A = this chain, B = another copy of it.
Protein backbone atom coordinates (compact mmCIF):
# COMPACT_ATOMS: atom_id res chain seq x y z
CA UNK A 1 0.00 0.00 0.00
CA UNK A 2 2.81 2.35 0.90
CA UNK A 3 4.42 1.83 -2.48
CA UNK A 4 1.15 2.29 -4.33
CA UNK A 5 0.56 5.51 -2.48
CA UNK A 6 3.96 6.81 -3.57
CA UNK A 7 2.96 6.34 -7.14
CA UNK A 8 -0.47 7.84 -6.67
CA UNK A 9 0.74 11.13 -5.32
CA UNK A 10 3.14 12.06 -8.14
CA UNK A 11 0.57 10.92 -10.70
CA UNK A 12 -2.05 13.20 -9.26
CA UNK A 13 0.45 16.04 -9.27
CA UNK A 14 1.35 15.36 -12.88
CA UNK A 15 -2.28 15.36 -13.88
CA UNK A 16 -2.86 18.63 -12.09
CA UNK A 17 0.07 20.32 -13.76
CA UNK A 18 -1.21 19.15 -17.16
CA UNK A 19 -4.82 20.16 -16.83
CA UNK A 20 -4.40 21.88 -20.21
CA UNK A 21 -4.22 19.40 -23.13
CA UNK A 22 -0.97 17.42 -23.09
CA UNK A 23 1.82 19.16 -24.98
CA UNK A 24 2.24 17.65 -28.42
CA UNK A 25 5.64 16.73 -29.67
CA UNK A 26 6.92 19.36 -32.08
CA UNK A 27 6.18 19.34 -35.79
CA UNK A 28 9.01 19.55 -38.32
CA UNK A 29 8.66 23.33 -38.78
CA UNK A 30 8.84 23.70 -34.99
CA UNK A 31 11.93 21.48 -34.79
CA UNK A 32 13.63 23.55 -37.48
CA UNK A 33 12.60 26.85 -35.92
CA UNK A 34 14.13 25.72 -32.61
CA UNK A 35 17.39 24.56 -34.21
CA UNK A 36 20.69 26.26 -33.44
CA UNK A 37 23.36 27.32 -35.97
CA UNK A 38 25.40 24.27 -34.95
CA UNK A 39 22.64 22.01 -36.29
CA UNK A 40 23.47 23.14 -39.83
CA UNK A 41 26.52 22.89 -42.07
CA UNK A 42 27.36 24.92 -45.15
CA UNK A 43 27.86 23.13 -48.46
CA UNK A 44 31.53 22.67 -49.36
CA UNK A 45 32.01 24.71 -52.57
CA UNK A 46 34.62 22.20 -53.79
CA UNK A 47 31.98 19.45 -53.69
CA UNK A 48 28.96 21.35 -54.93
CA UNK A 49 27.79 21.51 -58.55
CA UNK A 50 25.59 24.17 -60.11
CA UNK A 51 23.59 22.89 -63.08
CA UNK A 52 22.36 26.00 -64.89
CA UNK A 53 19.17 25.34 -66.86
CA UNK A 54 17.04 27.83 -68.78
CA UNK A 55 14.60 27.84 -65.83
CA UNK A 56 17.18 28.28 -63.09
CA UNK A 57 19.83 26.51 -61.04
CA UNK A 58 19.94 22.95 -59.74
CA UNK A 59 22.36 22.55 -56.80
CA UNK A 60 23.97 19.15 -56.24
CA UNK A 61 25.98 18.15 -53.19
CA UNK A 62 28.60 15.61 -54.20
CA UNK A 63 29.51 12.67 -51.96
CA UNK A 64 33.26 12.12 -52.28
CA UNK A 65 33.25 9.92 -49.18
CA UNK A 66 31.17 7.34 -51.05
CA UNK A 67 32.35 7.64 -54.67
CA UNK A 68 35.76 9.37 -54.62
CA UNK A 69 36.90 8.26 -58.09
CA UNK A 70 33.66 9.25 -59.80
CA UNK A 71 33.60 12.60 -58.00
CA UNK A 72 37.14 13.34 -59.24
CA UNK A 73 36.05 12.45 -62.78
CA UNK A 74 32.91 14.56 -62.57
CA UNK A 75 34.82 17.59 -61.32
CA UNK A 76 37.43 17.18 -64.07
CA UNK A 77 34.66 16.94 -66.69
CA UNK A 78 32.90 19.95 -65.17
CA UNK A 79 36.05 22.10 -65.03
CA UNK A 80 36.86 21.19 -68.64
CA UNK A 81 33.45 22.62 -69.64
CA UNK A 82 32.41 19.19 -70.88
CA UNK A 83 28.72 19.52 -69.87
CA UNK A 84 28.17 23.06 -71.13
CA UNK A 85 25.78 22.95 -74.07
CA UNK A 86 24.72 19.33 -73.57
CA UNK A 87 21.05 18.51 -72.88
CA UNK A 88 18.67 16.59 -70.68
CA UNK A 89 18.30 13.60 -72.98
CA UNK A 90 16.05 11.33 -70.92
CA UNK A 91 13.01 12.02 -68.78
CA UNK A 92 11.32 8.82 -67.69
CA UNK A 93 8.21 9.19 -65.56
CA UNK A 94 8.51 7.97 -61.98
CA UNK A 95 12.16 7.16 -62.59
CA UNK A 96 14.98 9.46 -63.75
CA UNK A 97 16.04 12.64 -65.53
CA UNK A 98 19.37 12.12 -67.28
CA UNK A 99 21.96 14.14 -69.15
CA UNK A 100 24.89 13.18 -71.33
CA UNK A 101 26.30 13.20 -74.81
CA UNK A 102 25.01 10.10 -76.61
CA UNK A 103 26.12 11.45 -80.00
CA UNK A 104 29.65 12.15 -78.77
CA UNK A 105 29.55 15.81 -79.72
CA UNK A 106 31.95 16.70 -76.93
CA UNK A 107 35.28 14.87 -76.73
CA UNK A 108 36.11 13.51 -73.28
CA UNK A 109 38.91 15.51 -71.61
CA UNK A 110 42.30 13.84 -71.20
CA UNK A 111 42.46 11.53 -68.24
CA UNK A 112 38.77 10.67 -68.16
CA UNK A 113 38.09 7.00 -68.52
CA UNK A 114 36.33 4.15 -66.85
CA UNK A 115 36.71 3.91 -63.12
CA UNK A 116 36.13 1.18 -60.58
CA UNK A 117 32.40 0.70 -59.97
CA UNK A 118 32.09 2.29 -56.46
CA UNK A 119 28.64 0.74 -56.08
CA UNK A 120 29.34 0.27 -52.38
CA UNK A 121 32.22 0.81 -49.95
CA UNK A 122 33.89 -1.17 -47.21
CA UNK A 123 32.47 0.05 -43.92
CA UNK A 124 34.95 2.53 -42.43
CA UNK A 125 36.00 1.80 -38.82
CA UNK A 126 34.15 4.80 -37.38
CA UNK A 127 31.50 5.96 -39.78
CA UNK A 128 28.83 8.32 -38.46
CA UNK A 129 25.54 6.49 -38.89
CA UNK A 130 22.19 7.75 -37.63
CA UNK A 131 20.18 4.57 -37.81
CA UNK A 132 16.46 4.63 -38.47
CA UNK A 133 14.46 2.42 -36.11
CA UNK A 134 11.82 1.06 -38.48
CA UNK A 135 13.70 -1.29 -40.78
CA UNK A 136 13.82 -1.37 -44.54
CA UNK A 137 12.57 -3.65 -47.30
CA UNK A 138 15.90 -3.77 -49.14
CA UNK A 139 18.76 -3.56 -46.64
CA UNK A 140 19.57 -4.84 -43.14
CA UNK A 141 19.98 -1.29 -41.82
CA UNK A 142 19.33 2.20 -43.16
CA UNK A 143 19.98 5.67 -41.90
CA UNK A 144 22.01 8.78 -42.58
CA UNK A 145 25.68 9.47 -42.85
CA UNK A 146 27.18 12.90 -43.56
CA UNK A 147 23.84 14.12 -44.86
CA UNK A 148 23.09 11.28 -47.24
CA UNK A 149 20.61 8.40 -47.06
CA UNK A 150 22.60 5.20 -46.75
CA UNK A 151 22.16 1.49 -46.24
CA UNK A 152 24.65 -0.78 -44.55
CA UNK A 153 25.28 -4.41 -43.87
CA UNK A 154 27.43 -5.35 -40.92
CA UNK A 155 27.53 -8.89 -42.28
CA UNK A 156 28.90 -7.79 -45.67
CA UNK A 157 30.87 -5.03 -43.92
CA UNK A 158 29.59 -2.65 -46.60
CA UNK A 159 27.84 0.70 -46.82
CA UNK A 160 26.17 2.25 -49.85
CA UNK A 161 24.16 5.30 -50.80
CA UNK A 162 20.45 4.61 -51.32
CA UNK A 163 18.40 5.55 -54.39
CA UNK A 164 16.03 8.03 -52.78
CA UNK A 165 14.23 10.85 -54.59
CA UNK A 166 16.78 13.47 -55.65
CA UNK A 167 19.83 11.22 -55.54
CA UNK A 168 22.32 11.64 -58.39
CA UNK A 169 23.89 8.63 -60.09
CA UNK A 170 26.31 7.84 -62.87
CA UNK A 171 24.81 6.25 -65.98
CA UNK A 172 26.63 3.26 -67.38
CA UNK A 173 26.38 0.55 -70.02
CA UNK A 174 26.14 -3.18 -69.25
CA UNK A 175 29.76 -3.35 -68.15
CA UNK A 176 29.98 -2.49 -64.43
CA UNK A 177 33.05 -0.33 -65.12
CA UNK A 178 31.53 1.63 -67.98
CA UNK A 179 30.44 4.71 -66.04
CA UNK A 180 32.85 7.63 -66.19
CA UNK A 181 30.60 10.39 -64.87
CA UNK A 182 30.04 11.90 -68.32
CA UNK A 183 26.42 10.78 -68.06
CA UNK A 184 24.41 11.41 -64.91
CA UNK A 185 20.84 10.88 -63.76
CA UNK A 186 18.66 12.20 -60.97
CA UNK A 187 15.93 10.10 -59.32
CA UNK A 188 12.55 11.81 -59.89
CA UNK A 189 10.17 9.08 -58.72
CA UNK A 190 9.49 6.43 -56.14
CA UNK A 191 12.87 5.26 -54.85
CA UNK A 192 14.22 2.66 -57.34
CA UNK A 193 16.09 0.83 -54.61
CA UNK A 194 16.74 -2.15 -56.91
CA UNK A 195 19.43 0.09 -58.43
CA UNK A 196 21.26 0.20 -55.10
CA UNK A 197 24.68 -1.47 -55.38
CA UNK A 198 24.26 -1.55 -59.17
CA UNK A 199 25.19 2.04 -59.96
CA UNK A 200 27.56 4.58 -58.45
CA UNK A 201 25.58 7.24 -56.65
CA UNK A 202 27.61 10.44 -56.39
CA UNK A 203 25.45 12.99 -54.64
CA UNK A 204 22.06 14.55 -54.06
CA UNK A 205 20.07 17.46 -55.44
CA UNK A 206 19.68 19.90 -52.55
CA UNK A 207 17.86 22.63 -54.47
CA UNK A 208 16.00 23.03 -57.76
CA UNK A 209 14.94 19.45 -58.42
CA UNK A 210 11.58 20.71 -59.70
CA UNK A 211 13.46 22.08 -62.72
CA UNK A 212 14.28 18.47 -63.61
CA UNK A 213 11.20 16.63 -62.35
CA UNK A 214 8.65 18.78 -64.19
CA UNK A 215 10.11 18.38 -67.69
CA UNK A 216 8.00 16.74 -70.39
CA UNK A 217 8.49 12.99 -70.40
CA UNK A 218 10.40 11.48 -73.34
CA UNK A 219 8.34 9.28 -75.61
CA UNK A 220 11.10 6.97 -76.86
CA UNK A 221 12.07 3.77 -75.08
CA UNK A 222 13.15 4.21 -71.44
CA UNK A 223 11.99 7.82 -71.50
CA UNK A 224 14.64 9.08 -73.91
CA UNK A 225 13.46 11.97 -76.02
CA UNK A 226 12.38 11.01 -79.53
CA UNK A 227 13.83 12.81 -82.56
CA UNK A 228 10.86 15.18 -82.76
CA UNK A 229 11.09 16.15 -79.09
CA UNK A 230 13.20 19.03 -77.90
CA UNK A 231 15.61 18.15 -75.09
CA UNK A 232 16.22 20.93 -72.57
CA UNK A 233 19.69 22.47 -73.01
CA UNK A 234 22.15 22.66 -70.12
CA UNK A 235 23.69 26.12 -70.12
CA UNK A 236 26.54 25.04 -67.89
CA UNK A 237 27.63 22.86 -65.03
CA UNK A 238 30.16 24.44 -62.67
CA UNK A 239 31.89 23.57 -59.43
CA UNK A 240 30.64 26.11 -56.89
CA UNK A 241 34.22 26.94 -55.86
CA UNK A 242 34.83 28.26 -59.40
CA UNK A 243 31.84 30.60 -59.25
CA UNK A 244 32.33 34.15 -57.90
CA UNK A 245 31.18 34.28 -54.29
CA UNK A 246 28.42 36.78 -55.08
CA UNK A 247 26.85 34.36 -57.56
CA UNK A 248 26.89 31.34 -55.29
CA UNK A 249 23.81 29.77 -53.73
CA UNK A 250 24.26 30.32 -50.04
CA UNK A 251 22.79 27.10 -48.70
CA UNK A 252 23.22 25.01 -45.63
CA UNK A 253 22.06 21.49 -44.91
CA UNK A 254 20.87 20.07 -41.64
CA UNK A 255 23.40 17.86 -39.88
CA UNK A 256 22.20 14.27 -39.62
CA UNK A 257 24.12 13.36 -36.45
CA UNK A 258 22.46 15.68 -33.92
CA UNK A 259 19.56 15.57 -31.43
CA UNK A 260 17.82 18.11 -33.67
CA UNK A 261 17.90 15.69 -36.59
CA UNK A 262 16.64 12.89 -34.34
CA UNK A 263 13.75 15.19 -33.35
CA UNK A 264 13.09 15.91 -37.03
CA UNK A 265 12.88 12.18 -37.78
CA UNK A 266 10.53 11.71 -34.82
CA UNK A 267 8.34 14.59 -36.01
CA UNK A 268 7.85 12.68 -39.27
CA UNK A 269 7.42 9.21 -37.76
CA UNK A 270 4.54 10.54 -35.66
CA UNK A 271 3.08 13.57 -37.36
CA UNK A 272 1.66 15.84 -34.66
CA UNK A 273 -0.29 18.05 -37.09
CA UNK A 274 -4.06 18.01 -36.53
CA UNK A 275 -4.59 16.64 -40.03
CA UNK A 276 -3.26 13.22 -39.03
CA UNK A 277 -5.82 10.96 -37.39
CA UNK A 278 -3.60 7.86 -37.40
CA UNK A 279 0.11 8.34 -36.84
CA UNK A 280 2.30 6.02 -38.87
CA UNK A 281 4.69 5.51 -35.97
CA UNK A 282 7.26 4.53 -38.55
CA UNK A 283 9.19 6.05 -41.41
CA UNK A 284 10.80 4.89 -44.61
CA UNK A 285 14.36 6.06 -45.30
CA UNK A 286 13.35 8.01 -48.40
CA UNK A 287 10.52 9.84 -46.63
CA UNK A 288 12.85 11.63 -44.20
CA UNK A 289 13.39 15.20 -45.41
CA UNK A 290 17.03 16.29 -45.24
CA UNK A 291 16.30 19.97 -44.67
CA UNK A 292 18.11 22.66 -46.68
CA UNK A 293 17.85 26.40 -46.12
CA UNK A 294 19.33 29.71 -47.17
CA UNK A 295 22.21 30.52 -44.86
CA UNK A 296 20.98 33.19 -42.44
CA UNK A 297 22.76 36.55 -42.62
CA UNK A 298 25.25 37.08 -39.80
Contacts and interface: CB of A to CB of B under 8 A. Distances in A.
Interface of A: 91, 93-94, 117, 119, 134-138, 164-166, 174, 176, 189-194, 196-198, 209-210, 213-217, 268, 271, 274-278, 280, 282-284, 286-287
Given A138-B282, A283-B137, A274 B190 contact: no
Contacts of A138: 280, 282, 284
Chain A contact surface mostly: loop
A285 B196 CA distance: 17
Question: How many chain copies does the complex carry?
Answer: 2
Contacts of A193: 280, 284, 287
A124 B17 CA distance: 46
Contacts of A190: 164-165, 189-191, 286-287
A277 B94 contact: no
Given A190-B286, A213-B93, A214-B214, A197 B278 contact: yes
A290 B225 CA distance: 24
Nearest to A137: B284
Contacts of A196: 278, 280
A210 B214 contact: no
Nearest to A135: B137
Given A194-B280, A210-B216, 9 more contacts: A94-B165, A135-B135, A137-B284, A138-B284, A191-B284, A194-B276, A194-B287, A210-B217, A214-B214
